[in-house]
Structure formats: C-alpha cells, structure tokens
Structure 1
Amino acid sequence: MRNAIDVGNGLIITTDNSGGIGEKPGDLVAVPDRLTAFFAARVALLEQWAAHAEPISILLHNFSGSTSWEKYVEGIHDLFTEAGLQTPPISGSSETNMTLLQSAMAVTIIGRTIEQPIGEEVQWFTYGTPLVGNEVLDRADEVASLRVLKEAMEIGLIQQLWPVGSRGILEEVRTMTSNETAKVESGLDITKTAGPSTVVLLAIPTTKREEAKTFFGTLLRELNIYI
C-alpha cells in the first residue's frame, strides 16, 4: 500500500494537501480554488484505488478563508464526476479566525476496501505523462484519465495501480518494490515530478496486454523494472 493508512475494519484513509496554489495575491501558482481542490482530491482518490478501496466519506480542510469553501467543494464534485462516481458526503472545517497570505487546503478521503483482483502474472506499464505546474493545464490530454482508469479496473484490465507523485517514476518504483537500488527503463523522464499524479504505474495481466494497449491508447507505455 502506498500513502494510505489502514485503520482496520476495512477502512482506508488517504490525503493530499496544497499550499501556495489558488486565488490569493501571495500564491506562487495562480489557479482557481476549484481547480486546486480538484487535483488534491485526485491524488487522494488514486491512493484509495491503489489500496483497493472505494471512497465513502470526504473531509475538507480549508485554510484559505470562508469564501473558498464552496469553490473547493465544487472542485471535489468535478473530480468525482470526471471519474464517473457519485461524490461521497463532504464535511470539514474552515479557518476563519486568521487570514493567511497564501492559500492552503487539504482533502482527506475515507474509503472501504473492496475485493482484490485474483493474482496473475503481470507486466508493468505507465499511463500518462509526468507533468507539473502549468504543464498540467497546457498538456491536459497527457494526464492519466480517472474515468478510463475506473473503467479499466471494472473490466479487469488492472491488477495493481500505483500513483506517481513528486518524487518521480524511479523513486515510486523503489518504494513500491521496497528496493532502494531498483532500476527502470522507460521512454519517460523517470526522475521528473508527476505533480498531482498525472502518471500512474499499472500492473496489467500479461494475458490482457494487447487489450490494454488498445484500451488505453498511446499514453500507455511499457515499463521495465529490474530488482
């Protein structure tokens, strides 16, 4: 399991945060609050899927002021709509006593584990492209689609999913395999940050490899891992 906490009774907790990104004058990256929440929720949702769990509740932590709350909620709704899922209940709180110079927020998802796929021989692939900052918007067609991933899981094309974060593909592989010297071969930049998990690692059953290539298209690339 990646950045997820198993609290028992089949419950999984995942979270992602964002700072200095939003609508305040002091923010380092100027984007709508709605979009900030979308990408924070995206990472937390992918972490749920990596843990073979489905969301049942969401906690929103808002440090940007009361006017940002509804925008953040709308961004979370946008994310679940894109994924083809109903948005779980959203609760949380806003910091209204102190006015910060920069935006800050976090999304925590509570999920429940689902039945895991039957273990098969797999081949690893990447789906999407490592992107960060304005690249995420300028090259949106290269971002791993949540709806496509959800459909692929439902039809059994994915044995395991592993989101790539700020450390890049190589470091994620080393974490996933618990091997600090693991090496990889990929047509992508394996050290570049993937921002809000714009690329994910996929373990695809070898018997469904060709079907997966057709299903995912050109954003699916082979990933060779050497332990």
Structure 2
Amino acid sequence: MRHEIILNGMVITTDNSAAIGQKRLDAVKAPDPITAKFAARVALLEQWAAGSEPQAVLLHNFSGAEHWEPYVAGIEELFYEAGLPKPSISGSSETNMQTLQSALAVTMIGRQEGEREESNLEWVVYGEPLTGKDVLENPAKIADLKKLNDLMKRKLIHRIWPVGSKGIAAEVDLMLNRTIKVLEKGPDLLASGGPATSVLLGTMPQNTKTVMDFLESPVYPVYFDKI
C-alpha cells in the first residue's frame, strides 16, 4: 500500500498541484499542459504501484474555465507518452470564484490486475528526484514512463514505487522497512522527488542488468544497510 484506496477491485489514486502554472502569483511558472501532466503522472505511477491500469480520470480545476482544455491536453499527452490508451476524462471547474494562483487535482480510477509483489527482488532507482523549476530544466533526468510500461509488459519489473516529496530513503523505509545505503555517485536520498521524477523498481536478480541497460542513465542499483 502507498496512498491508493482499493474498493471492490477498483483502485483510486490522486495528486494535486498548487501555485504552479501561468497565473501572476504562481510560485513556479509553467505551461498549463505541463502542470496537469505532472500531476497526472503521480496518480498514474500510484496506479502502477498498486498493480492497476487507469480506466477513467477526474480533473478538478480550480484555476478557471479557460484552463480546462490545456489541463486536459496535458493529461492526454501523459497517456500518449506512456504508450497507454487515452481514458475517459471528466470533472469540473471552479467558475464562480477567481483564484490568484493556479490549482488542480487529478484523480484516476483503475482496475487492479493483481499485486506486483514478489519475494527476493533486487531494487534500482530510476530517475533523479527533482522539484520545482528543476523538473522543467532537467527532462533527461526524469524517469521515462514509456520505458517503464515496456518493461512491465515484458514482465521484467515486478514492482514500481514512485518517489514523493520525502525522498528516496523515506520511500524505501515505507515500502520495505529497510535503510538504504548512501550512494557515492547516486542521487541525494533525502531530496524531494516532486512529481515522481524518480521511481524505485523491483526486479528479479537475473533481470536487473537487462533492466538497467534498457533504462540507461540515470539508473542506480539499491544497496541496503545490514539488518
């Protein structure tokens, strides 16, 4: 379990974004499609973490009616880039009150296809933990969803776990109740992962090298302190 809700085999995941967009008082300036795409990215990765594929998307738009279409375009772009069919997208917009900063939330509903957990997995970190402007300025350091989808289809990765705002070390502790070693040439284990720019991947030992070679950089093996 991460942050999803599971009801009768249906998985519900969500993420939100605030003060990121094109309004004058936004803390981080970004095009609306990019803002929505990265909010949807987190919800999608949490679907995958639960062994689910999204069937429908709800968009909660607090920025105003004129932002709806750009937000939808960003969500659709995410599914295209991940190599997934475009789901139904619905939701609502705040049109009565004008907000000074951008805000939205993306909720995904999927059907659980089975737990992707197996014993004796080896783990790697794929992508660098980034947040704010660093996300926009370092696209080559962000985990590629199309590559992850390809590896899942080939059954070369058995678990996906997105890295959130508390960083890699906190996610390893939450997921495995273990302590990750500090890596000399790896990412900062305490840095915020922002909109899940990095992920933890569980593979069978015989597949680890194949997975790392396919993903290329930035990907790092995970080593644990002794229990």
TM-score, normalising length from structure 1?
0.95
1:150 and 2:142 matched: no
Separation in 1, partners of 2:20, 2:74: 14
1:75 and 2:74 matched: yes
8 Å CA contact 1:185, 1:223 repeated in 2: no
2:6 is matched by which residue type in structure 1? D
Aligned equivalent of 1:123: 122
8 Å CA contact 2:120, 2:204 repeated in 1: yes
Separation in 2, partners of 1:77, 1:136: 19
Q: Cα–Cα, structure 1 residues 118 and 138, in superposed 2: closer, same or farther, change >3 Å? A: closer
> Helix, strand or coil for the counterpart of 1:35?
helix
Choose the corresponding residue for 2:182, options 168, 181, 185: 185
Deviation at 1:157, TM superposition (A): 1.2
Separation in 2, partners of 1:90, 1:118: 30
Separation in 2, partners of 1:76, 1:221: 29
> Helix, strand or coil for the counterpart of 2:181?
strand
1:74 is matched by which residue type in structure 2? A
**Deviations, residues 71-117 of structure 1 (Å, cap 9, x unaligned):** 10000000000000111101110010100111110000001011345
1:175 is matched by which residue type in structure 2? L
**Deviations, residues 128-168 of structure 1 (Å, cap 9, x unaligned):** 11111111121101100000000011111111110001110
**Deviations, residues 187-214 of structure 1 (Å, cap 9, x unaligned):** 2100001111110001111011221122
Deviation at 1:178, TM superposition (A): 4.1
Q: Cα–Cα, structure 1 residues 138 and 29, in superposed 2: closer, same or farther, change >3 Å? A: same
Separation in 2, partners of 1:163, 1:184: 18
Aligned residues: 224
2:101 is matched by which residue type in structure 1? Q
Between Structure 1 and Structure 2, which shows a larger proportion of strand residues?
1
Separation in 2, partners of 1:118, 1:196: 23
1:4 is matched by which residue type in structure 2? E
Aligned equivalent of 2:50: 51
Separation in 2, partners of 1:64, 1:133: 19
> Helix, strand or coil for the counterpart of 2:224?
strand
Unaligned runs of at least 5 residues, structure 1: none
Separation in 1, partners of 2:170, 2:196: 13
Q: Cα–Cα, structure 1 residues 46 and 117, in superposed 2: closer, same or farther, change >3 Å? A: closer
Runs ≥4 in structure 1, deviation > 6 angstroms?
none
8 Å CA contact 2:50, 2:115 repeated in 1: no
Separation in 2, partners of 1:117, 1:90: 26
8 Å CA contact 2:117, 2:159 repeated in 1: no
Q: How does 1:28-177 map to 2 (within 5 A)?
A: 28-117=27-116, 119-177=118-176
Instruction: Quote the RMSD (CA, aligned, Å).
Output: 1.3
8 Å CA contact 2:25, 2:101 repeated in 1: yes
Deviation at 1:119, TM superposition (A): 2.7
Separation in 1, partners of 2:152, 2:160: 9
Deviation at 1:59, TM superposition (A): 0.4
